[in-house]
């Protein structure tokens, strides 16, 4: 991640990219899995002085050795609405603090079953470089961390700067480096695969056919044709179905009201959500939830 931000800073002179390692006890070096100790840059600063606060875990057996004050700082930052990022087993820390409850999370395949058993209240998935839930992002680590970094660069400095950072890093196509969920890996058209990945990664964020088409260098009409040929749905219908699938999980695994779930999934009101849910599943959300009890 540091290398991606370093190249972005060279390419984009008007924006400064900085990373600070902070700790409750900045005078105490932090030992990495590689055996290298790193001294934190500073103590905790006000959370709103950061755009993001990331937690990176080590081996699962060492997570309980972290400082309680650092965990409390994460909760404080979350309440201050500063986006948190869980990288690798850092997502375990966020889940332990209840910050991933009733959310989707991208977890490394090596840790997926352990995570699911420990945190059934989290919708854990594998095969995504990151999942953006707005105020909390998760990333499985490894090369996926670079993909997340370049996405944050694109968000804050534009696509050209992000592309420059990728070229400087000599990145291989990340689809070759990260196994994808079967339903995505089997999509023959690379542009459609990319569009579906974006939908899954930003499922609770505003998405439009025009925006997706622009991201994969297609017209809206061309993108709709690809979606219809592969799934029998338009882009908008596919997005809606994906959100309804997530809504099913929330209905079964959370205490959120139908109205709250509808708004979280981007529906304008509860009536629209109920109508589309009934069309998709043949039952209203309330009846579906009761049948899962």
User: Is the sign of the CA dihedral 93, 95, 98, 99 positive or negative?
Assistant: positive
pLDDT at 175: 46
| Domain 2-156 CATH assignment equals 1.10.3720.10 | no
- Is 139 in a helix, a strand, or coil? strand
How confident is the prediction along the chain (293 residues), in pLDDT tens digits per residue?
666 676 666 666 666 678 899 999 999 998 877 778 889 999 999 999 999 999 998 889 888 888 999 999 999 999 999 999 999 999 999 999 999 999 999 999 999 999 999 999 999 999 999 999 999 999 999 888 888 888 888 888 887 887 777 777 766 544 444 556 767 888 999 999 999 999 999 999 999 999 999 999 999 999 999 999 999 999 999 999 999 999 999 999 999 999 999 999 999 899 999 999 999 999 999 999 999 87
In the chain, DSSP finds a helix count (H) and a strand count (E) of: 15, 8
pLDDT at 75: 96
pLDDT at 162: 76
- Is 131 in a helix, a strand, or coil? strand
Are the C-beta atoms of 1 and 149 separated by less than 8 Å?
Answer: yes
Give how far Cα 12 sits from Cα of 22, 78, 124, 160, 239, Å.
Answer: 25, 29, 35, 9, 33
Domain boundaries, the chain: 2-156, 180-293
pLDDT at 181: 72
What is 180-293's CATH number?
A: 1.10.10.60
């Amino acid at each position: 991640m540091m290398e991606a931000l370093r190249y972005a800073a060279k390419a984009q002179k008007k924006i400064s990219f900085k990373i600070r390692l902070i700790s409750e006890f900045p005078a105490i070096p932090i030992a990495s899995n590689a055996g290298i100790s790193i001294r934190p840059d500073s103590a905790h600063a006000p959370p709103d002085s950061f755009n993001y606060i990331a937690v990176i875990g080590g081996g699962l057996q060492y997570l309980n050795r972290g400082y309680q004050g650092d965990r409390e700082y994460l909760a404080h930052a979350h309440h201050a609405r500063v986006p948190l990022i869980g990288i690798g087993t850092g997502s375990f820390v966020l889940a332990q603090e209840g910050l991933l409850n009733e959310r989707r999370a991208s977890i490394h395949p090596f840790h997926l079953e352990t995570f699911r058993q420990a945190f059934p209240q989290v919708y854990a998935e594998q095969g995504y470089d990151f999942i953006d839930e707005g105020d909390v992002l998760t990333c499985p680590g490894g090369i996926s961390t670079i993909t997340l970094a370049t996405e944050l660069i694109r968000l804050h400095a534009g696509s050209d700067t992000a592309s420059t950072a990728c070229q400087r890093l000599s990145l291989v196509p990340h689809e070759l480096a990260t196994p994808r969920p079967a339903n995505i890996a089997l999509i023959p058209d690379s542009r459609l695969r990319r569009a579906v990945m974006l939908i899954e990664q930003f499922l609770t964020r505003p998405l439009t056919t025009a925006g997706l088409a622009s991201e994969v260098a297609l017209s809206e009409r061309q993108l709709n044709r690809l979606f219809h040929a592969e799934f029998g749905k338009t882009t908008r219908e596919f997005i809606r179905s994906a959100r309804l699938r997530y809504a099913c999980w929330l209905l079964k695994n959370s205490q959120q009201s139908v109205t709250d779930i509808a708004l979280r999934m981007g529906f304008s009101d509860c009536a629209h959500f109920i109508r589309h849910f009934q069309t998709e599943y043949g039952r209203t959300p309330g009846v579906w939830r009761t049948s899962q009890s």
